[in-house]
Amino acid sequence: MAAKSPTPVRTVTLPDGTVEMHFVVRVPPRERISSTMTFERDVQSATAKIGLALMEYGLAAFDTEGEVLHGGGPRLTSKGLQSETCQTSFGEVTLSRHVYQPPAGGKTYVPLEDRARIIGLSTPLFASSIAAKYSGAGGRAVQRDLREHHAREVSLAFIQALAAETAKVVMAREDRWTCTPVTPPDQAAVIALGYDGTCAQTCGEGWKQVMVGTMTLYDSGGEPLETLHVANAPEDGKATFLSRMDREVAALKTRYPDALWVGVSDGATDLRAELGRHCGQLILDFWHAAGYIVSAAPAMTAGTAARGGVKAPQWIEQALHRLKTEDGGASKLLAEMERQLDNGPVLTGTERADLSRAAGYFANNLDRMDYAAAVRERLPIGSGITEAACKTIVKARLCGGGMRWHLGSMQQVLSLRALRRSSNRWDQFWTRLDRHGF
């Protein structure tokens, strides 16, 4: 197969102004096609060349004809046509475009790059593809994926630079481009707010805490509709993270004024205080409470096995059922733990310590453990979405073997990854960029 040049062999302008381009692709006789893989690669190459020709034609539509530009600032005059290579989904295309500068000198302006939304010498669709891939894997993995699946040979440096440039646009527009959830206001009955932290390794400072926040919309039946994510690189305190979350919460409260806000978290006291600022109801993550039930079981069943009483696995099953379904279940279990500590059988040091910790945990969080009422009202009782975000947004990308991060590059990846994994937000961002530029 041959397609020596991306230039169309014939171009026809139709009466309505549409341009019709005709390309020729030469293919061998069928009897000479001996390898499907080779033939498919040839097809891919030929179609890429056609794509490049079309992109060169389309991008030229965003340039000027060299006229003087008048705007809010100084008058701009063209320095003439200058060549620049731009990356597209089909390959590299070299463009001759007008470059402008004020008469007194200074920063240049390239209308084509501005109007065509060129990011880091890349078309927006290719930039979106690279940023999405880089948010999910390292630069070398992205480079290999482009080579093997897209027949694109792109340098590692370009991939990293383009992803960083895209992330900077995301971060710079975050406070102005508040994305709108697609759930209609009358369908979001509950919004669950969750904060959590996990660790990633930084350059020079070792393991530091990365904060993650989630906002999940539920319908009246308790079914999740969509989730929004925020992730923040380590900082002194949590001021930036909390400020970002405050902004997101305020936007959601404006769109969903009638939704019930529920804060679901573990027993961390600092998270509880922050959730309380936004939520009308706080719920302790059921599975953290369940963990203390499991650890208390040996003490709660000490000495009963010899008398044919309840064994630890049975007690755990019964206790979890009571905790989740009985009104006042947590209070009743706490009272039983305290009696076992005060008047129960002789316990080993480990049993007593585990039971004391469980009783203390229940006592400190009792006001957030009305699980039976929450289940009846179809409210979320688990912080699994937030904890999963710690794994999928942070750990899966930032904690590969030997990975260490500068805080700036870490935040860039986190911003891309959180935007990518938030329901509907990735497409909304690129739609806004296409419409408004950056």
- Judged against a pLDDT cut of 80, whether residue 2 lies above it is answered with no
Q: What is the pLDDT of residue 6?
A: 52
Instruction: Convert the pLDDT of each residue in 98-139 to its tens digit.
Output: 999 998 888 999 999 999 999 999 999 999 999 999 999 999
Q: State the average pLDDT over residues 329-358.
A: 94
Distance CA 116, CA 370 (A): 55
Hey, what amino acid is at 116? A
In a domain, 180, yes or no: no
- Identify the band that residue 9 occupies on the pLDDT scale cut at 50, 70 and 90: confident
Q: Residue 4 is which amino acid?
A: K
CA distances for 238 relative to 211, 231, 244, 367, 396, angstroms: 8, 11, 10, 26, 22
Select from 339, 355, 374 the last residue of a domain. Answer: 374
Domain end (from 339, 374, 409):
374
Res 334: pLDDT: 97
| Predicted confidence (pLDDT) per residue in 193-210, tens digit | 999 999 999 998 999 999
Q: Are strands 91-101 and 77-88 parallel, antiparallel or unpaired?
A: antiparallel
> For all residues of the chain together, what is the average pLDDT?
92
Residue 184 lies in a domain: no
Mark which of 325, 340, 374 sits at the end of a domain.
374
Tokens 């293919």, located at residue: 27
Instruction: For residue 362, give its domain range.
Output: 286-374
Count of structural domains within the chain = 4
Same domain, 68 and 165: yes
The separation between CA 9 and the C-alpha centre of its own chain, rounded to angstroms, equals 45
Residue 428 lies in a domain: yes
Do 137 and 14 lie in one domain? The reply is no
pLDDT of residue 73: 76
Mean pLDDT lowest among 110-119, 304-313, 376-385, 388-397: 304-313
Task: Give the pLDDT confidence of 161-195 residue by residue, as tens digits.
Answer: 999 999 999 999 988 877 889 999 999 999 999 99
Q: Are residues 333 and 402 in the same domain?
A: no
- Convert the pLDDT of each residue in 14-48 to its tens digit: 999 999 999 888 889 999 999 999 999 999 999 99
Averaged pLDDT, 306-332: 89
Q: Is the pLDDT of residue 341 over 70?
A: yes
136: left (phi over 0), alpha (psi -120 to 50) or beta: alpha
Q: Residue 237: inside a domain, yes or no?
A: yes
Q: Is 93 helix (H, G, I), strand (E, B) or coil?
A: strand
